[in-house]
Amino acid sequence: MKAKHLVLAALMVLAIAAVPLYAAGKDIIYASDSTTKTLDPHDTSDTYSGAIERAICQGLLGFDRNMNIIPLLAESYTYNANATEFTFKLRRGITFQDGAPFNAKAVKVNIDRLMTGKYVRSSLMDPVKELQIIDDYTVKFILKQPFGAFLNALAHPGALMLSPAALEKYGDDIGSHPVGTGPFLFSEWVSGSYVLIKKNPNYWRGTVKVDSIKFVPIPENGSRVAMLRAGQAQYIYPMPAELLKLVENDSNIDVIKQPSIIERYLIFNTKSKPLSDERVRQAINYALDKKAIINIAWGGAATEADSLFPSALPFFKKQGPWPYDVAKAKELMKAAGYPNGFKVVFLTPNASARLRATQMVQQQLQAIGITGDIQSMDVASFYDLLAKNKPETVGNQPFIAFGGWSSSTGDADWATRPLVATEAFPPNMSNYGFFEDKTVDDLIKAGLTSADPKIRGNAYAQLQDYIWTKAPWGYLFVDTLIAAKSKNIKGIYPMADGAFTVEEAEIVQ
């Protein structure tokens, strides 16, 4: 055992040594378990890359650290009663980091690019019929139909503004040369190694307090913690829950914990004969010991899911967690005609916590006769497989997959429509279990017919009440975000969607 620990320590030291040291003076190293995929906000699908992009670029609107919408490049906005016209007054005197002016023409260049449909985040502009330039500093969005969540779509990092001059120069290679209006300038990206950003000396909101931030991927949990403790990283995310005891008593380190809007759940192939039966799906929910999964697989860093989406999102209505009741689960399985259970395929990313959680689900469902092998793969391959699945190809083949979702618009619409809407009501790009229910579709649509919070709140309350017992998923838990930082670092905040903001970063003595 002693030798094993020495080998592990040596590996950690080697991992640290392999990272180029940079932090000195007013420089910060941010170590994460993720890698940067692209720095083109319009073509970004992952939260980590989007967070880095938000340090370089800004949108008309954005989010504060509590996921509240705030004006950024737009100083104000108005909208009509049925949420089909949104008018924005733009800030004057702002230039992009390459000197190009920010104005209505710059907004149109970016929105027109998104509206081509070529990019990952083009769906954010699906509701838009046209963008009108009213004058140099006023734009109006005309929508195809009412869309009450449009402000949230514009606050999404996929709607960040890029310099028109840079877009003309680099085209779709802009992902390696991002130019925005944000507090930091893009400096260097070494794929698989790091992204370096430096302070924007001409930032329109005031002085940036650090010289640079380097984002370094460190997938191995122990190495990331070791870097922080050695002072070779100043901020790490995620801070692995199972290693908290190593840092909680370190006088040089602060641990940050906060609720998230990341909900974990089991995806059911609802087109398969067993899982198409609501009683079977209910039985699975009763058979899941979620507290055990949280404590053992997730290091205790989560709370049981108690609605279709997390409590930190607007319009949440608590349903109460599904109780753990194996006897009730067996009754439902018998009533559905499966007293002896059936076989499924368990699908999961091979990231350690997710794999452990899936293994526990596999073990727990044996109590009601549901058995099967686990197929694990890297995260990208996992979601690629689910995205390629079609009802006509997987058909009656039952699978249960370990899913997770964060509403990156900070709104109930994006927490529901992509996941449980039908083919007739796009975007349903992440309804990987093919769940269909007309009442669900109607309630989601009702939540978009107005921008009035009372009207929207009533629709989403009804939706949560209705869908909870329909059990389109195996409801699991909502993550608790854990980060850790050097005590002398301030102003880097984790956000509820798993992203972060670094605009106010500073080093204090």
For the structural domain made of 44-182, what CATH number should be given?
A: 3.90.76.10
pLDDT of res. 25: 60
Tell me if the pTM is above 0.85: no
Fold held by 1-33+188-252+487-509: D-Maltodextrin-Binding Protein; domain 2 (3.40.190)
Strands 253-268 and 342-343: unpaired
pLDDT tier for residue 33 given thresholds of 50, 70 and 90: confident
Kindly report the number of other CB atoms within 10 A of residue 208's CB atom.
24
Taking only the tens place, the pLDDT of each residue in 477-497 is 999 999 999 999 999 999 999
Question: Is the pLDDT score of 13 beyond 70?
Answer: no
In the block, residue with structure tokens 């909870």: 468
pLDDT of 410 above 60: yes
User: Is the CB of residue 217 less than 8 Å from the CB of residue 33?
Assistant: yes
Cβ-contact 194, 215 below 8 angstroms: yes
CA 32, 37, 40, 43 torsion-angle sign: negative
Q: Which two tokens stand for residue 130?
A: 């046209």
Q: What is the mean pLDDT of residues 428-436?
A: 91
Break the chain into its structural domains and give their ranges. 1-33+188-252+487-509, 44-182, 259-480
CATH architecture of the region 259-480: Roll (3.10)
Q: Give me the amino acid identity at 354.
A: R
- pLDDT value at 24 more than 60: no
Q: Sign of the C-alpha dihedral, residues 487, 493, 498, 503? A: negative
Please say if the pLDDT value at position 370 is more than 70: yes
Structure tokens at 167: 């877009």
Report d(CA 148, CA 145) in Å as an integer.
10
Give the mean pLDDT of the chain. 92
Please tell me the predicted confidence (pLDDT) of residue 379: 75
Res 16 pLDDT > 80: no
pLDDT at 74 over 80: yes
So what's the pLDDT on residue 145?
92
pLDDT-above-90 percentage for the chain: 81
**For 201-265, what is the HEC assignment?**
CCCCCCCCCCCEEEEEECCCHHHHHHHHHCCCCCEEECCCHHHHHHHHCCCCEEEEEEEEEEEEE
Predicted confidence (pLDDT) at residue 56 exceeds the cutoff of 70? yes
